[in-house]
């Protein structure tokens, strides 16, 4: 996937999943491969399946939220990212940034601004990558 061979990544991830169908990392990697190949509906299905297996598995919330956003399902993106935020007690900066971005895309600028303010406050107490601010 990292060298742009997403179709090969999908094929290999599916093969790995046949050997271990409940492995969360394999499922997440398959969802990522679908995402990067612009097969967003498949990425959504894989993300939902992953969260059915493990509702506390935060990486699945990130990729599922991004896939929802790519299909213009902003309400679903906000909802799933908000759930993920709850699972991390709001301490995952990347998730917060993705949530703010989805909120802004959905037209809820005040909610996005609140997330941005929250990240700014956290950045004064510890390191937050500037990429997260740029994402918003």
Phi, psi of 22, deg, nearest 5: -110, 10
**Burial call 60-89: b when 16+ CB within 10 Å, e when fewer:** bbbbbbbbbbeeebbebbbebbbebbeeee
Q: Which of 85, 49, 55 lies closest to 67, judged by CA? A: 49
Question: What is the pLDDT confidence band of residue 2, given thresholds at 50, 70 and 90?
Answer: confident
Residue for token digits 């740029």? 134
Q: In this structure, is the dihedral angle defined by the CA atoms of residues 55, 91, 113 and 105, taken in order, positive or negative?
A: negative
For residue 1, the model assigns a pLDDT of: 84
Interval 40-64: pLDDT, tens:
999 999 999 999 999 999 999 999 9
For residue 136, the model assigns a pLDDT of: 92
**pLDDT averaged over the chain?**
95
Q: Which of 45, 36, 87 lies closest to 96, judged by CA? A: 87
For residue 90, the model assigns a pLDDT of: 83
pLDDT over 90 (residue 18) = yes
pLDDT cut 70: percent of the chain above it: 100
Measured distance CA(106)–CA(69) in Å, rounded: 9
């Amino acid at each position: 996937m990292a060298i742009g061979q997403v179709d090969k990544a999908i094929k290999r991830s599916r093969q790995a999943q046949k050997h271990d169908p409940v492995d969360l990392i394999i499922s997440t990697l398959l969802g990522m491969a679908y995402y990067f190949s612009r097969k967003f509906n498949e990425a959504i299905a894989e993300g939902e399946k992953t969260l059915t297996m493990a509702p506390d598995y935060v990486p699945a919330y990130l990729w599922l939220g991004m896939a929802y956003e790519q299909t213009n399902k902003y309400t679903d993106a906000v909802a799933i990212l908000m759930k993920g935020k709850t699972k991390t007690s709001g301490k995952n900066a990347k998730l917060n940034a993705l949530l703010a971005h989805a909120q802004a895309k959905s037209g809820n600028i005040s909610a996005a601004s609140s997330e941005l303010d929250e990240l700014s406050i956290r950045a004064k107490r510890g390191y937050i990558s500037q990429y997260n601010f740029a994402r918003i």
